[in-house]
Structure 1
Amino acid sequence: MEGGQQDPNDFSDTALGLVSTQSFPAIVGTADMMLKSAEVALVGYEKIGNGQCTAIVRGGIANVRLAVAAGVEAAEQFGQVVSSLVIARPLPNLEAVLPIGKLLAEVAQGSRSSRLSNQAIGLLETRGFPAMVGAADVMLKAADVQLSAHETIGAGLCTVIIRGAVADVAVAVEAGMHEAERIGELHAVMVIPRPLDDLEQTLPLASCWIEQPKPLRLPITTKQTAEAELMVLPSLESLPVPIELELHQSEPPPLEVKTLEAKPPEEP
């Protein structure tokens, strides 16, 4: 290929890597290690119920093998590893039929923008919804963090996801752990200080944090509005205002002048 670009239809040197765990926080932490250990792309997660989650990565065969090995090691440290698999040179039909095809299509559509990007991630998983809600409430009150979403994976497992500064997330998760144990059963926790972009794009996010592009509002000028703008209204002073006054006045009556005759003085 010219310019050193790989043909997207060339599957001779690509591979798929899959690692499964028994909790959502564990699979997110596993995916984070896979992304940071090799040059691979995180396609997404597949949740099949009963608490089992699978992280799927894609890239060169050598990089995928390194990523899967790092993912398995991380999952073993969490005590949540189930299985792993590397598929070298998968045929297009495999990616199209399996749920991997839908995840690949979502990745190809582009990234979403969020005000919570570039912040640490905290995940706390409980068995039972009340324990998760109670833990989320305590975490929000314990530190300056934001509740970004929650995830359910079956078997009664619920995960609350928070975002914020690393120190705030650590304090909030610790407070949430004690509350979850008080209410119900704490299953797993995870704090990821510096998540990569691929990891952020695959995490669930509440609709209130997704920034939708706003439509551009432009003034619309029609022929009528253009003619209206050209019209110049005359001033009120120049407008001829007909004023009709009806004067019903009669001629003033003539003045009557009376002459007073002087009387002679009376004789004594």
Structure 2
Amino acid sequence: MMKKLTAIGLIEFTAIHAGIGAADGMLKTASVEPFMMKTLCPGKFIAGVHGEIGAVQSSVATGLGLYPSTVADSFTIPNVHPDVVTALSGCTRITKQGALGVIETFSVASAILAADEAVKAADIDLLEIRTALGLGGKGYVLLSGDIGAVEAAVGSGMRKVEERGLLVGTTILPRPDKTLLQQLT
């Protein structure tokens, strides 16, 4: 079982060699632990760390400085919501029936940011954060709950990603077909 993460930081690179090199530097710079380090489609690499906020900020700053021309996106979240970590692992359950919300982004980092913002904004279930495997480098977030909560959550997550210029789009289904939900989750 993964321990509770407080601060997380992640850099999305457009080149695998750069991501691996930066990940090494990130881990050596500060007292952080790896959170998510892997290749993604199409030929990207994400380097994520967790730890105390100061250490995470220092680690991410180092990673950003090592291969700046290959950075696609990045973030530091000082107090990540625990449901974000669960949704990234794909181990969620639908407990709040009702509407389905979708937030689609041009980067994995922005999808994670949108999910954290959404789950902090309203009482929803964060179902999944899909990260760029077979998605052409994009990411998306699935969430569910009553229609008002889903609208608030999607709106909040959408605004966070729009600020970065990385929003593809959003959809809210007030009453999704149950077989669709089974296929998506």
TM range (shorter): 0.3 to 0.5
The alignment's TM-score, normalised by the length of structure 2, stands at 0.46
Higher relative contact order (CA 8 A, sep 6+): 2
**Bigger radius of gyration among the two:** 1
Q: Which has the higher strand share?
A: 2
The alignment's TM-score, normalised by the length of structure 1, stands at 0.32
